[in-house]
Amino acid sequence: MRDALSRTPNWSRARGALDDATLDSILTEAAKVAEQVVAPLDIPADREGARFEDGRVRVPEAYHAAFDTLAEGGWMGLEVSEELGGMGMPLALYAASGPMFDRACPAFNMAVVSTRSAALLLTDWAAPEIRDDWVPALAAGERSATICISEPGAGSDVGRIRTRAVPQPDGSWRVSGQKIWISFGDHDLRERIGHCLLARTGDAPGTRGLSLFLVERGPGVTCERIEEKMGLHGSPTCALQFEDAPARLIGEEGRGLPQMFSMIRHMRLSVACQGLGAALKCYDVAAQHAQDRRQGGNPKEPPVAIFTHPDVRRQLIEMKSAIDLYRLALLEAACSADLSAGDEDLARFTAWMLPLIKNFGAELAFDTAAKSILVLGGAGFTRDYPLEQSLRDSRVYAIYEGTTGMQGQDFFLRQTLGDGGKALGVFLTRARAECAGHPEALAVVESFAAFIARAATEPDRNRQAWMADGVLRAGWVAVQAWLSCRIAGTPEARHFLAAAPALMAFHIAKAEAPMQA
C-alpha cells in the first residue's frame, strides 16, 4: 500500500500534515492488529455464526475482546475529526489500511464499518447537540450504529419506502415501519445502537418525501429475526420492526436521501476495501500453494513446484495484474474524495469513480477467490483452506450498497450523462495527460472516449439503461489503462495492456448490441 500511495499524484495533497513516519507507524500497527487480533476470528465466526435468542442477537464470543481492542486503538475514529474524538486522518489512509482488516475477518469488520460511516454522516448533518453526543462515542467505540434503508417493498427502489415518521407536539418524532437487511442491526457488543434511518415525513412521492432520523435501540425497536445467509455468517443481518419508536431528525426534513449519501459514499468505499482485502488473501493462498505444491516435470526426477508450469503462472499474473491496478484505482478515488470539498472537478470525478471501485472491487474479490480455488484444485474446494469461505463471503459484495445493475445505471446515466459530461471530461483530461508517453494505454482511453461520444447521442432512455452495464465495464477498462501508466513496464501492466484493446472492443460491442425482448 505504501508504494501504491506514492504512485498516486493526489496523495501529496490529500495527506496534509501526515508525515512518513506516522504513516508507516499506522500501516504497520494496522497490519499487526488485523493479523493478531482480527484474523483469528474469521474461520470460527463462519462456523459458529451469530445467534438469535429470546429476541436478541448474540455474536461469536471472541468478537467482544477484538471489538474492545479496535476501540481502544482508535480504529473506529480513524477518519473522524480530532475535534469530535477521532484521529482526523484522510480517507485515503482508511482506504490503505481498511483492506487489512477486511482481509482478516470481513464479517466482524461489518460492525466497525457501519459505525465509522455513521460517525461521518452525523458529523456532516446532525444538530450540534446530537453530533457532540454521538460522534465522539462512536469514534471511541462506546456505541455502534447502522444504516437502515431497505424494506420488504423497497430495496433498490428507495422511493417506495413506507416507514413513516410522525411529528409530536413536543417537537420530537415517532417512527413506525419495518427495515430489513440491516447488518449488525442488533448485537451484544455494545448496549447503545443508533440506527440512521430513512422514513417518510410528507406526502411528496418518491424520494422527495424522505427524511433522515437517528433512532436508538430501545422502546419501540424490535429485532424480528436474522437471515440465514450463504456467507458472512458472523455478521448478523437483521429485520427490525419500529413501532412508535422515538426518533430525532437529522438535517433538513425532506432531504434524507441526499444527506444519507455522506454515509453511503463511505459504505461503498468500504465495499471496495472488502473486495481488495479478500482478493489479496486469496491470491496469497494461491501463490504460496503454487510454490509448495509439487506436481509434474521429468518423471525421472522429483516433481517440480506447480509454479513452474506456464498455465499456473498465467493464472497468477492474471490475478495479480487485476489486484495491482485495482489498488491504484481505490487509492485514487479515496484521495479525490479527500480533496473534493475544495475542488469541484474532483468532487465530480469522485462521484464518477465510486460506482467503478464499488462494483469492480466486489467482482475482484469473487473472481480472485474462484480463480484461486482452481490453482489449488480439489484442495481449494475443501474447508482445509479459506478460499471456499472467501468465495461465499464475497458474493454479497456485488449486492449490498447497490447491485452491479444499479452501479451501471449510476455510472452511465447520472455520473457520465447526467452532468453533461463534466466528470467524464475530468477523467479524460487527466488520463490523456498521464498516458501521453504510453501510446498503448492512450489508445484504449481514446477508444472509450469515442464510444461514449456515440453513446451520449442515444435518445432512447430504455436503450441507455440496456447499455449501462457495457458502459460501466468499458469505463473500467479505460480507468485501468490510465492507471497502468503508473506501473508502466511491470509484468502486471504489460499483461493487462496486451488484452485491453480486445476487452474494450468486447464491452463496446455488448453495449451497442440491439436490445432483446
pLDDT score of 123: 96
If you classify domain 145-254 with CATH, what class do you get?
Answer: mainly beta
Ranking 147-156, 187-196, 216-225, 406-415 by mean pLDDT, the lowest is 147-156
- For range 413-436, the mean pLDDT: 96
Buried b (16+ CB within 10 A) or exposed e, 232-269: bbbbbbbbbebeebbbbbbbebbbbbebbebbbbbbbb
Q: Which residue, among 163, 137, 172, 264, has the nearest Cα to 221 in the 3D structure?
A: 163
Please give the DSSP secondary-structure letter assigned to residue 305.
B
Q: Length of the chain, please?
A: 517
- On whether the CB atoms of residues 334 and 269 are closer than 8 A, the answer is yes
The reply to whether 2-142 and 145-254 are identical in fold is: no
Grid-cell match 504460496, residue found: 288
Sequence spans of domains, the chain: 2-142, 145-254, 403-517
Query: Is residue 401 among the annotated active site residues?
Result: yes
pLDDT score of 482: 98
Cell, residue 78: 480513524
260, pLDDT greater than 90: no
Cα gap 137→80, rounded to integer Å: 11
**Correct CATH for 2-142 of 3.40.50.720, 1.10.540.10, 1.10.260.40, 3.20.20.140:** 1.10.540.10
- Name the average pLDDT for the chain: 96
407, pLDDT greater than 90: yes
Cα gap 201→184, rounded to integer Å: 26
- On whether the CB atoms of residues 467 and 412 are closer than 8 A, the answer is yes
* Whole-number Cα distances in Å, 290 to 79, 280, 293, 301, 415: 38, 15, 6, 19, 42
- For range 271-280, the mean pLDDT: 98
6, pLDDT greater than 70: yes
- On whether the CB atoms of residues 291 and 307 are closer than 8 A, the answer is yes
- For range 376-396, the mean pLDDT: 97
517, pLDDT greater than 80: no
Q: What is the pLDDT of residues 425-469, one digit of tens each?
A: 999 999 999 999 999 999 999 999 999 999 999 999 999 999 999
Buried b (16+ CB within 10 A) or exposed e, 281-300: bbbebbbebbeebeeeeeee
pLDDT score of 110: 96
Is pLDDT larger for residue 267 or for residue 30?
A: 30
Exactly one of 363, 401, 440, 492 is catalytic; name it.
401
Q: What is the pLDDT of residues 21-60, one digit of tens each?
A: 999 999 999 999 999 999 999 999 999 999 999 999 999 9
Q: Could you give phi then psi for residue 16, rounded to 5 degrees? A: 60, -130
- On whether the CB atoms of residues 141 and 153 are closer than 8 A, the answer is no
**DSSP three-state, residue 183:** strand
pLDDT score of 203: 84
302, pLDDT greater than 70: yes
% of the chain beyond a pLDDT of 90:
93
145, pLDDT greater than 90: yes
